Amino acid sequence: MGQSSPQTGRMASPVRVIVVGAGSRGENYSNYASIHPKRMKVVAVADPRTFACTKLQKQHNIEDKNIFKDWQSIAEREKFADAVLICTPDRLHKDPAVAFAKMGYHILLEKPMATTAEDCVAIVEACTQNGVMLSVGHVLRYDPLIHKIKELIDAGVVGDVIHIQHLEPVGFYHFAHSFVRGNWRNEAESSFSLLAKSCHDIDLIHHWAGARRCVKVSSFGSVSHFQKEKKPTGAGDRCFDCSVETRCPYSARKIYLDRVKRGHTGWPVSVICPNSVPDIESVTEALRSGPYGRCVYECDNDVCSNQVVNMEFEGGLTAAFSMVAFTEEICKRKTTIYGSMGELSCNGHEITVFDFLTQRSTKHTASSDAPTHFGLSGHGGADYHLINAFISAVANNNPSMIRSGPEETLASHLLVFEAERSRLESRVVYCGDDAQS
Ligand SMILES: NC(=O)c1ccc[n+]([C@@H]2O[C@H](COP(=O)([O-])OP(=O)(O)OC[C@H]3O[C@@H](n4cnc5c(N)ncnc54)[C@H](O)[C@@H]3O)[C@@H](O)[C@H]2O)c1
């Protein structure tokens, strides 16, 4: 069962949005305006990259006076739109979110909300105090199959939920791209990988656990393999100057150049040429001189490549989460929910529920009616459903249309920070209880 097509907004005119950060995510969400021009209009864009601004300006016919180099320049002007889409890098979320909330803009904020617990709290306070809606980019909440899991749990198909097991297989070349060579490789520049990558997963576990609070958490993890000491003998510092490149699965030539040669210019190739259209020439140049051509054993990466988190919720519900870089699947999560009356498992394609009483299995699927344009690069359509829900919420002045709203998202983000604290301090953390922790 797919999510509905655009709900009818009560506003006669389209919701006016400002795109703050016109990179991959900002561009992706702004596509909604091209598909539904009567529902959303991009009226301004802010990004220090001229290439990114010009691309969005042409696509959405934005006036010259509404092209900005940074978010601060927008915040200096009187409010001139209904909402902002904040799609800046992780460390640039809190300041614009708080500033725009104070100005009365409704906010779609990319995940993670912010890189510290205090900043996440400050964002939620600013939104609440100023009466603006907040939708956080937890796209998986809008994935029809994942949403179906929650509907089945709530319908009681497994009885009481006793244990949740959830795996995030990041994918070997995806990890090398984003977390070894790319934007999320280094905590000081972005955030730790449990926050950058797995805040989605901890949020889902927290959501499936229902109203129960997590009481204790423990976590282990480390950077494996992508380290200088693992560099093969004879390897160069860049893939173009490497004598063992053909034997390396992480070769940038294989991940990017071979793809563009096959005519594939979407992710991850699209990300590596920030100031031009990706083609064989620009990709070759990016690999020769840019970060994505570096040897994976010679990068300044420090974020965990494998991490486990164990959680105990009120009432004894337990959950075990694993994130691992070294997988064939790219982010096709695998989940099993063990209940008092049955077992539910999801392999990323379909859900199977085994009923202990009848000893029969039932299959469930869910389809997305998102335009294929979004489906290709947008988390299987979930990006479309997220922006659709946000725009509908703003148009109808109805925050209940947002699934990733402030309170629940804050609670799951705080759980991520507690889990990381457990890993760093090698001990069980009692959530929200500083005296015992
Ligand atoms: N929801 C998801 O599943 C998901 C997936 C990927 C990324 N993200 C998150 O989305 C955010 C953006 O990621 P991305 O992949 O689009 O990165 P990106 O690098 O492609 O885009 C970020 C953009 O912000 C711009 N920027 C930098 N400083 C700015 C400023 N002061 N004012 C305005 N713009 C500024 C950059 O030039 C860049 O174009 C990150 O926080 C990331 O973690 C979420």
Residue 3 has pLDDT above 50, yes or no: no
Of the CA atoms within 13 Å of residue 416, those in its CB half-sphere come to 31
Q: Whose CA is nearest to atom 19 of ligand 1?
A: 23
The pLDDT score that the predictor gives to residue 5 is 43
Residue 1 has pLDDT above 60, yes or no: no
The pLDDT score that the predictor gives to residue 49 is 96
Neighbours of 419 (CB within 10 A): 28
The pLDDT score that the predictor gives to residue 146 is 95
Kindly write down the DSSP assignment for every residue of 60-121, as one continuous string. HT--GGGEESSHHHHHTSPP-SSEEEE-S-GGGSHHHHHHHHHTT-EEEEPSSS-SSHHHHH
Q: What's the DSSP call for residue 212? A: P
Angle at 252 between CA 115 and CA 30, to 5 degrees: 50
Residue 407 has pLDDT above 60, yes or no: yes
Contact (CB, 8 A) for 47 and 25: no
Of ligand 1's atoms, which has the minimum distance to the CA of residue 184? 43
State whether the beta carbon of 394 lies less than 6 angstroms from ligand 1.
no
Mean pLDDT, rounded, for 374-381: 66
State whether the beta carbon of 174 lies less than 6 angstroms from ligand 1.
no
Average pLDDT, whole number, for the chain? 94
The pLDDT score that the predictor gives to residue 274 is 85
Measuring CA to CA, which residue among 153, 168, 157 is closest to residue 211?
A: 153
Residue 435 has pLDDT above 60, yes or no: no
Q: 158-210, pLDDT tens digit by residue?
A: 999 999 999 999 999 999 999 999 999 999 999 999 999 999 999 999 999 99
The pLDDT score that the predictor gives to residue 9 is 47
State whether the beta carbon of 383 lies less than 6 angstroms from ligand 1.
no
Mean pLDDT, rounded, for 11-19: 89
Q: In percent, how much of the chain has pLDDT > 70?
A: 95
For a pocket test of ligand 1, which of 18, 19, 20, 24 has the largest count of ligand atoms closer than 8 A to its C-beta? 24
Cis peptide before 112 (omega within 30 of 0): yes
Mean pLDDT, rounded, for 388-417: 97
State whether the beta carbon of 90 lies less than 6 angstroms from ligand 1.
yes
Mean pLDDT, rounded, for 305-310: 98
Q: Which of the four pLDDT bands, split at 50, 70 and 90, describes residue 376? A: low
Q: Whose CA is nearest to atom 2 of ligand 1?
A: 137
Q: Whose CA is nearest to atom 25 of ligand 1?
A: 21
CA distance 283 to 245: 17
The pLDDT score that the predictor gives to residue 8 is 44
The pLDDT score that the predictor gives to residue 369 is 84
What distance in angstroms lies between residue 25's CA and the mean position of ligand 1's atoms? 6
| H runs (alpha helix) in 272-350 | 280-289
The pLDDT score that the predictor gives to residue 268 is 94
Q: Which of the four pLDDT bands, split at 50, 70 and 90, describes residue 62? A: very high
State whether the beta carbon of 20 lies less than 6 angstroms from ligand 1.
yes
What distance in angstroms lies between residue 225's CA and the mean position of ligand 1's atoms? 27
Cis peptide before 268 (omega within 30 of 0): yes
Q: 279-294, pLDDT tens digit by residue?
A: 999 999 999 999 999 9
Q: Which of the four pLDDT bands, split at 50, 70 and 90, describes residue 385? A: very high
Q: In percent, how much of the chain has pLDDT > 90?
A: 91
Residue 12 has pLDDT above 90, yes or no: no
Q: At what angle do helices 406-425 and 199-208 cross, to 10 degrees?
A: 120
Q: Whose CA is nearest to atom 15 of ligand 1?
A: 24
Q: Which of 10-19, 85-94, 242-251, 313-322 has the lowest mean pLDDT?
A: 10-19
Residue 431 has pLDDT above 60, yes or no: yes
Determine how β-strand 161-169 pairs with β-strand 334-339: antiparallel
For the chain, domains (ranges, CATH) are: 15-137 (3.40.50.720), 144-226+301-367+406-430 (3.30.360.10), 228-293 (no CATH)
CA distance 350 to 85: 32
Kind plus residue range of the DSSP H or E element containing 153: helix 144-154
Contact (CB, 8 A) for 149 and 302: no
For a pocket test of ligand 1, which of 51, 85, 88, 292 has the largest count of ligand atoms closer than 8 A to its C-beta? 88
Of the CA atoms within 13 Å of residue 225, those in its CB half-sphere come to 14
State whether the beta carbon of 189 lies less than 6 angstroms from ligand 1.
no
Q: Which of the four pLDDT bands, split at 50, 70 and 90, describes residue 368? A: confident
Task: Look up residue 321 and give its two tokens.
Answer: 């989460």
Q: Whose CA is nearest to atom 30 of ligand 1?
A: 70
Q: Which of the four pLDDT bands, split at 50, 70 and 90, describes residue 371? A: confident
